[in-house]
Amino acid sequence: MTRSEATAPTTGAPDGDEFDVIVIGAGPVGENVAERAHAMGLGAVVVESELVGGDCSYWACMPSKALLRPVAALADARRVAGAAQAVDGGLDADAVLARRTSFTSNWQDGNQVAWLDSVAVDLVRGHGRLDGPRRVIVETPDGSARTLTARHAVAVCTGSRAALPDLPGIADARPWTSRDATSSKEVPGRLAVVGGGVVGAEMATAWQALGSDVTVLVRGDRLLPRMEPFAGELVAESLTEAGAKVRTGVSVESLERPSPDRPVTLSLSDGSRLEVDEVLFATGRKPRTDDLGLETVGCEPGGWLAVDDSLRVTGVHGGWLYAVGDANGRALLTHQGKYQARIAGSAIGARAAGVPLLETDRWGAHAATADHDAVPQVVFTDPEAASVGLTAADAEQRGLRVRVADLDMGEVAGAALYADGYRGRARMVVDIDREVVVGVTFVGPGVSELLHSATVAVAGEVPLERLWHAVPSYPTVSEVWLRLLEACRG
């Protein structure tokens, strides 16, 4: 047993259950809020009802990327003459699933509990609920209740869960959610993926490569609708070449699974029916704020928690409640939630220390400005799609005057060397009033590691005239920057 599970809190008051900061939810975000609070000299406890590490470690980022990395590795080898000849056959599904399982530590959280212990953060296992200002009641696994009190702040870091549409037959169809799609130990023969967002595109890529016959059902007109249109087009093209079917403009109207061991039949809006062995609903997320006692502190349960830029929940008297990560709905991404955790942790620390004025101006130490202007995201499909900041359509919606540079990445020498017949596209969106880059999208093999250069340019608001002096090495894929800048500067 670790110190944190075994003993009373480090900063305990007489009853031992008073802490400077209480964090509800030990996902990546909660862990980081607690660690930051501790680094600011505060005592912190986290409350966790499932596994320390959260969805990201066991049913989201890590297992999904462990499923997808072999797909990219194999595809990369096949795109290089000489290496391609050494590749014989497809993926070894059992080996891929075993590697995935190892990345989840077989759904055991011992390592992450040890990490919490190493940063001197206490852990209370159980379901946490607010019970009035600064108080949290934890329903522990043995059925008892423990009341924790916070001297300074409570941070809600409870994440999100899959949102399923209310369709006839959906409960009996026992659909997969992202949890099943990332933890399944078997490869279904036929898999329908409903939803063309990030989870849908990534999981269709993984399971098609693992041997399923995948059909993606998209109600809109393309995959990855929040990215530049060419991202979804290139990913759909590649999925189709891999043998998957991508059907747009179609939704599921009802489902029928006569018994658990029989296939499921989907009735679709175009009048057709589709029989599959499993159906994954990748239709978005909803916040885990419904059973959290929010009504006891004057907040509406069940919704995304509205916060200011220091991640403090708006409208709560005394300003002691924070919501960080997926629970606030600002950007459902681990890295962005961890960024918020760093900001929230230092804001909590500064307020606890009585700092009179926090740095909450744009790009200040206590303002999560990047959430508005510079959110990076990599979609680990084949090809990868990576973007930061605004798309051209977003910029237009914000009323910015922009110049857009587009590039066929195959024209870049480094890309041609990276893969024979490299297929990829890039777009840079420039605010012409400020002459800074406000958005970049790359789609192509290996672009994920290129994204951070764009994030630095966008978050740093680096003037184009200075970017001109940031020389990409020859012959790397990064020379895409040179071509985009040439297109912008003329």
Ligand X SMILES: NC(=O)c1ccc[n+]([C@@H]2O[C@H](COP(=O)([O-])OP(=O)(O)OC[C@H]3O[C@@H](n4cnc5c(N)ncnc54)[C@H](O)[C@@H]3O)[C@@H](O)[C@H]2O)c1
**Nearest distance from residue 146's CB to ligand FAD, in Å?**
12
Residue 190's binding partner among ligand X, ligand FAD, none (Cβ under 5 to 8 angstroms by kind) is none
Q: Residue 58: which of 34, 32, 28 has the closest Cα?
A: 28
Q: Which of 30, 196, 439, 444 binds ligand X (CB under 6 A)?
A: 196
Alpha helices, DSSP H, located in 210-285: 229-241
Binding marks (x or -) toward ligand X, 309..348, rule CB under 6 A?
Answer: -----------------------xx---------------
Q: Which of 195, 345, 349, 383 binds ligand X (CB under 6 A)?
A: 195
199 lines the binding site for ligand X (CB under 6 A) = yes
125 three-state secondary structure: strand
Residue 122's binding partner among ligand X, ligand FAD, none (Cβ under 5 to 8 angstroms by kind) is none
**Residues 280-316, buried b or exposed e (16+ Cβ, 10 A)?**
bbbbbbbbbbeebbbeebebeeeebbebebbbbbeeb
Report the residue number whose CB is nearest to ligand X: 197
Closer Cβ to ligand FAD, 225 or 263, answer by number:
225
* Ligand-binding site membership of 159 (annotated): yes
251 lines the binding site for ligand X (CB under 6 A) = yes
Q: Is the peptide bond before 475 cis (omega within 30 degrees of 0)?
A: yes
**Nearest distance from residue 390's CB to ligand X, in Å?**
16
Residue linked to tokens 């999100």: 160
* Ligand-binding site membership of 199 (annotated): yes
Q: Which residues bind ligand FAD (CB under 6 A)?
A: 24-30, 47-50, 54-56, 60-61, 64-65, 127-128, 157-160, 178, 182, 199, 288, 292, 325-327, 332-335, 337
285 lines the binding site for ligand X (CB under 6 A) = yes
**Nearest distance from residue 331's CB to ligand X, in Å?**
7
Sign of CA dihedral 108, 285, 223, 189: positive
Q: Which of 380, 418, 422, 481 binds ligand X (CB under 6 A)?
A: 380
Binding marks (x or -) toward ligand X, 155..194, rule CB under 6 A?
Answer: ----------x----------------------------x
Q: What is the DSSP string of 37-94?
A: HHHTT--EEEEESS-TTHHHHHTSHHHHHHHHHHHHHHHHHHTSTTTGGG--SS--HH
Residue 219's binding partner among ligand FAD, ligand X, none (Cβ under 5 to 8 angstroms by kind) is ligand X
Rounded CA separation 20/264 (Å): 51
122 three-state secondary structure: strand
Q: Residue 425: which of 445, 452, 402 has the closest Cα?
A: 445
**Nearest distance from residue 39's CB to ligand X, in Å?**
27
Q: In what order do the strands lie in the sheet with 252-256?
A: 252-256, 264-268, 273-276
Q: Which residues are annotated as a binding site for FAD?
A: 65, 128, 158-160, 326
